[in-house]
Chain A
């Protein structure tokens, strides 16, 4: 799982580490803890919003409803919880910039997250909002599985950034 940090970004991460905001966060007894806690709460909401749709795609969950209904209902929760994850994630990354820069788990998470975001807001979005009869069960299940796999592959290294470095 080792992915090298881009050398070109080193100055940026050094700048982040030294930034007054980063210093303030590191010196605060409570900020980082509260921020991480909120990050986890947003994560739970995000996971729910992703999973209700993916479970439905897999033919489980709320299967008496059309996929599009489940997806439309979950959409704003998906988007806003992700915004929450960003807002609480950036201060963590900033204040520990050099630690995350040298963490292969950080880079793996970011790269998979980019793929997951693109997948979620293009292919998955099209499949979930489309007419089920046109998509067919196979593609629906594949999209559901890929979505779960991708986001799990974001969550696992994310947890390991803090534990193994």
Chain B
């Protein structure tokens, strides 16, 4: 079941064409995407550093997580919307790009990682909340998160390089 016909269909929408032909639209979207990425990824990284037990040690983990969550979500919403509009403007281009799909998959894995952590290790947070040395489940979740989001940022950047033939 190929998604390509759907992407090709959207590719011909007048609004899609308008976005990719807009002189200022694309730079504006990308800039918004990068700035909101800084908000999202920056706060996620600060939280993961605490979860790993290497940074922000003066604050209990649950506090870091709760207090940074709103900013993370705002960054996530703006990055996602700007990202979706970017793809909407050039569906066929992104469809054929391996780095786009790798990025998308890494985001899914990052979400799965966060969910898994919250459903397991996080239950015992009261026991290790203020510790400097974190339980292995916490460190694992943090390491995966950092690696995956770094991967998302890197793949995002590499989309622009047409190194591989379109899928």
Interface positions of A (Cβ within 8 A of B): 29, 33, 36-37, 40-41, 43-52, 55, 60-65, 69-70, 72-74, 77, 152, 155-156, 159-160, 163-164
Which B residues are in CB contact (< 8 Å) with A47?
38-39, 41-42
Q: Which of B45, B67, B154 has a CB less than 8 Å from the CB of A40?
A: B154
Interface of A is mostly: helix
Judge whether B59 is part of the interface by a CB distance below 8 angstroms: yes
Residues B31 and A156 in contact, CB atoms below 8 Å apart: yes
> Number of B residues contacting the other chain (C-beta, 8 Å)?
36
**B59 touches which one: A29, A69, A159, A163 (CB < 8 A)?**
A69
- Cβ–Cβ contact B34 & A155, under 8 A: yes
- Quick check: A77 and B49 within 8 Å, CB to CB? yes
Q: Are B58 and A73 in contact (CB under 8 A)?
A: yes
Task: Tell me if B27 and A51 are in contact (CB < 8 A).
Answer: no
8 Å CB contact of B45 from A45, A73, A163: A45
Instruction: Assess whether B42 is in contact with A37, with CB atoms less than 8 Å apart.
Output: no
Q: Which residues in A have their C-beta under 8 angstroms from that of B56? A: 52, 70, 73-74
Decide if A77 touches B38 in the complex (CB within 8 Å). no
Q: Which residue from A45, A51, A62, A160 sits with its C-beta under 8 Å from B39? A: A51
